[in-house]
Amino acid sequence: MGVRIVSKKNLTADDEKNISIIKNKRTNYCMGYVSDEYVKYSIDNAHYVVFSEDANRGLKGFATLYHDHKLSKLLIDVICNLGEAKYELRTPQVAEPGKEILDKIVEFGRDTLNVSYLELHSLEHVITYYSKFGWKFLDVNKNNQCVQNKDYSQEIENLKNALKENNPWKITYRLNKFKDFIGSQFAVSTNSCTSALHLALKAVGIKEGDEVIIPTNTFVATAEVITYFNAIPVLCDINIRDHNIDSTKIQELITSKTRAIIPVHFAGNPCSMEEIMVLAKKNNLFVIEDAAHALPSLYHERKIGNIGDITCFSFYATKTLSTGEGGMLTTNSKVYAKSSKINRLHGIDRDAWDRYSDNGDWYYKVVDSGYKYNMTDIQAGLGLCQLDKLEAMNLKREKVSEIYLKGLRHLPLIFLQSEKASRGSNHLFVIKTQNRDELYRFLKEKGIQTSVHFIPIHKHPYYKKTFKYQNRMYPVANDVFNSSLSLPIYPDMKIDEQNYIIDKIKLFFKLID
């Protein structure tokens, strides 16, 4: 059993036969989670082919290599079995002697370890082991400043510290430096953006029967937290430009029961906060920003998180800063910060940090009903590292967006437009087409997973039935819902992955033309 890396120029007849089998019939040694079309595409465009072979079974694993890749994903079936004697690894056979080829490994195979486990726990061992056989690797930490790019060293160190720390809140307390990044006076970490929104509404005194205005184009959590108080989510339509709440339609929704507005910064593009703040002040309303997508985003040179009365961020796994699950509440009000800090932990008047610090003691008082909404030290340890890398990751997202715009600009598509004085976080890349459903199915067949953001609140059965929302009241949101599609975007996205997506979208419009 062994591994061979062969130049496309030097393939044997048996190699060509194996490749033909892979291209034309899906097998257990083809790449997982991708379509047959992508398998063919990757083979046709590869410079080298990797074969993992078994003397009895023949071909056991398969991968492709490119000149222009930088160790994006480690592959090969044998990585699962490092250290097992039954695997005999041979020095790679390449057309050009001495060429550093193993920094080009690309595709992730079905029979390998889970990629997240491999990246977190095995990368160093893999490099050390394979180096003994003359395989060359890039210094993966040299140019990769983001967690998505496999530099997990500081994250892992912080996790170790969290597990060793006698004071269970020490690292979480350090995450308060988030307020310095945003420019707010206070920051309260939570276990989700949903819980942060709940704490925010409680802090400003929302009660039963109150009305809170929100855009219908948002994730259900924005409306859900309002119902926790038996209050009423009042839906506002959105504008066609950036899919944010239409600030020109808020005034007509305000009644004597209205207490707050929750603008949602869709895809990370800031809402028209100047108009919203003027409306809020005129009508004596609170402004609680849902900034789940908006980190880091700028509105007229001010970071989102430092404009409304309270702002709530999400650190969920798909967000621009991730702690797996987590959130943050920022505010310039000492009263709101104190309320949120108390209520995130059972209504106790002092955090564990205060009680277990050198100046603390065991006694505490429960002064409010409270919830179990605190962030853990493990989450905070990840968050501290992610915060240091946030700007670098955001620049990479900007680059991905630029490549999409350049590659798709001549197609019959509509793109989001943000205010010139604002800078979004590029959390999503959304395109709009009247052929959305057909394009979604076409891309799915090609192994490209897309999504729709969002299903409007007024279309969900529970909310439609409970609050009697009428579909005709939200024409723009309906149009956006029927035409929008979110393409894959993340900091570690490779140029060939984007080119594949762009090529398939071009092919779709060519086929329907």
Catalytic residue annotation: 319
Cα separations (Å) of 42 from 93, 108, 476? 20, 12, 40
For 279-336, the three-class secondary structure string (H helix, E strand, C coil) is HHHHHCCEEEEECCCCCCCEECCEECCCCCCEEEEECCCCCCCCCCCCEEEEECCHHH
- Whether the CB-CB separation of 186 and 330 falls below 8 Å is answered with yes
Q: How many Cβ atoms are within 10 Å of 44's Cβ, its own excluded?
A: 11
Cβ pair 317, 193 in contact under 8 A: no
Interatomic CA distance for residues 133 and 115, integer angstroms = 23
Helices 495-512/377-408 angle, 10° precision: 50
Which element (helix H / strand E) includes 402?
helix 377-408
C-alpha 189/C-alpha 329 separation (Å) is 6
Rounded to 5°, angle at Cα 404 from 403 and 408: 120
Over its C-alpha atoms, the chain yields an Rg (Å, rounded) of: 26
Contact 51, 18 (CB under 8 A): yes
Cα 392–chain centre separation: 15
Cα separation, 478 vs 459, in Å, equals 9
Residue 419, CB half-sphere, CA atoms under 13 Å: how many? 18
The rounded distance, in Å, linking the Cα atoms of 28 and 31 is: 8
Q: What is the DSSP string of 124-154?
A: HHHHHHHHTTT-----TTTS--SGGGT--HH
Instruction: Identify which of 218, 192, 489, 177 has the alpha carbon closest to the alpha carbon of residue 316.
Output: 192
